[in-house]
């Protein structure tokens, strides 16, 4: 069976979400460190242009976006569940809100001048400028905009007070009693804030929240060992993509299997990935692409937050 390979970097909050989900399920994985800014030639050889962090590779199958990575990990190992039976919508809906709304607030708070000076002040000026230019390009053409910092500062206490109340009254140790994808999606923006002295009090001022976060982080990352990006590409090249799901509803969207299409995120990092449409399942879109280095790969995207277009 193919190993799970996570393409990521340490400082990425969404990568932390993926690492914690791997830890929660006590899965073993290989760790490929990718650059924080473009270009990312080894990653895009696999994805065909998708650049966000993290990406999960299983042989010649490439999974973009943590919403879909969560589902792939659930398929890998059903228990403990990320989508507990009967609470699938609550867990995934909450996770989608946390991944977008709460993360957006956390990003604005982390990028306040005092916080960014603490986190990046020791980097050479050229590296700071390159990072700022890369992130400006990341947001070009997408629907997401940076929340004004005044707004984030005013709204954050409301979110935290609601969370504090929920956790204080909850009988179990996690958001909805037992742990689910919702906990990991909310934990990563808070982990991001905890990464600096300027922003850590935005979490630590709420005792039930801080204690819950420690419990979620306590799942750890699972057993992992490093892998070189070029080796990961070699693994894709030497592997055959997994069998496709039997269900396909491309026709209901006005597409057909075998058609040349492109798929892109709609919020930010909207670089399109082109390929042959293989399948539209209930949750995912799968494209086949040929890459000079990686060979034939199947690239999987979530349906929510992405848009499929005919080429």
> In the complex, which residues of this chain contact ligand GSH (CB under 6 A)?
12-14, 36, 51-53, 65-67, 99, 138, 269
Using alpha carbons, select from 171, 176, 168 the residue that is nearest to residue 90.
Answer: 176
**Smallest distance from ligand GSH to CB 246, Å:** 26
**Smallest distance from ligand GSH to CB 67, Å:** 5
Peptide bond into 10 cis (omega under 30): no
Q: How far is CA 103 from CA 39, 99, 220, 257, 270, in A?
A: 24, 5, 21, 35, 18
Nearer to ligand GSH, 90 or 104 (CB): 104
Report the alpha-carbon distance of residue 35 to residue 268 in Å, rounded.
18
Nearer to ligand GSH, 37 or 210 (CB): 37
Nearer to ligand GSH, 271 or 291 (CB): 271
Which tokens hold the place of 305? 């937050």
Using alpha carbons, select from 225, 218, 227 the residue that is nearest to residue 28.
Answer: 225
**Smallest distance from ligand GSH to CB 71, Å:** 12
Nearer to ligand GSH, 43 or 160 (CB): 43
Nearer to ligand GSH, 67 or 81 (CB): 67
Q: Following CA atoms 153, 154, 157, 162 in sequence, which dihedral angle do they give, to the nearest 10 degrees? A: -130
**Smallest distance from ligand GSH to CB 100, Å:** 8
Report the alpha-carbon distance of residue 92 to residue 74 in Å, rounded.
13
Using alpha carbons, select from 107, 81, 78 the residue that is nearest to residue 13.
Answer: 107
Q: Could you say which DSSP state residue 148 is in? A: P
**Smallest distance from ligand GSH to CB 251, Å:** 27
Report the alpha-carbon distance of residue 202 to residue 80 in Å, rounded.
30
Q: Could you say which DSSP state residue 8 is in? A: E
Q: Could you say which DSSP state residue 301 is in? A: E
Residue pair 279/286 in contact by the 8 Å Cβ criterion: yes
Nearer to ligand GSH, 164 or 303 (CB): 303
**Smallest distance from ligand GSH to CB 304, Å:** 10
Nearer to ligand GSH, 138 or 186 (CB): 138
**Smallest distance from ligand GSH to CB 302, Å:** 8
Using alpha carbons, select from 297, 298, 303 the residue that is nearest to residue 249.
Answer: 303
Report the alpha-carbon distance of residue 188 to residue 268 in Å, rounded.
18
Which tokens hold the place of 103? 């993360």
Nearer to ligand GSH, 14 or 295 (CB): 14
Strand-pair category, 61-64 with 55-58: antiparallel
Nearer to ligand GSH, 52 or 300 (CB): 52
**Smallest distance from ligand GSH to CB 82, Å:** 13
- Measured from each CB, the residue nearest to ligand GSH is 52
**Smallest distance from ligand GSH to CB 286, Å:** 17
């Amino acid at each position: 069976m193919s190993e799970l390979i996570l393409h990521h970097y340490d400082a990425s909050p969404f990568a932390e979400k993926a690492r914690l989900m791997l830890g929660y399920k006590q899965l073993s994985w290989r760790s490929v460190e990718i650059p924080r800014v473009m270009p990312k030639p080894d990653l895009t050889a696999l994805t065909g242009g998708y650049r966000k962090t993290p990406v999960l590779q299983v042989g010649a199958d490439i999974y973009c976006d943590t919403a879909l990575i969560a589902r792939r990990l659930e398929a890998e190992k059903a228990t403990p569940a990320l989508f507990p039976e009967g609470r699938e919508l609550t867990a995934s809906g909450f996770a989608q809100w946390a991944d977008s709304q709460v993360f957006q607030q956390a990003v604005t708070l982390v990028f306040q001048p005092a916080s960014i000076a603490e986190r990046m002040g020791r980097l050479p000026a050229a590296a700071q400028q390159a990072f700022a230019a890369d992130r400006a390009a990341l947001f070009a053409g997408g629907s997401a905009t940076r929340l004004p910092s005044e707004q984030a500062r005013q709204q954050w206490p409301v979110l935290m007070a609601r969370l504090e109340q929920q956790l204080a009254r909850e009988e179990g140790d996690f958001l909805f009693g037992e742990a689910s994808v919702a906990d990991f999606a909310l934990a990563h923006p808070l982990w991001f804030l905890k990464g600096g002295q300027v922003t850590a009090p935005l979490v630590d001022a709420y005792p039930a929240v801080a204690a819950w976060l420690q419990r979620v982080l306590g799942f750890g990352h699972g057993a992992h060992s490093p892998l070189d990006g070029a080796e990961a590409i070699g693994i894709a090249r030497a592997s055959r993509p997994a069998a496709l799901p039997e269900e396909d509803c491309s026709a209901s969207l006005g597409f057909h299997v075998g058609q040349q299409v492109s798929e892109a995120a709609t919020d930010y990092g909207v670089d399109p990935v082109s390929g042959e449409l293989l399948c539209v399942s209930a949750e995912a879109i799968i494209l086949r692409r040929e890459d000079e280095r990686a060979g034939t790969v199947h690239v999987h995207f979530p349906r929510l937050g992405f848009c499929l277009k005919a080429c």
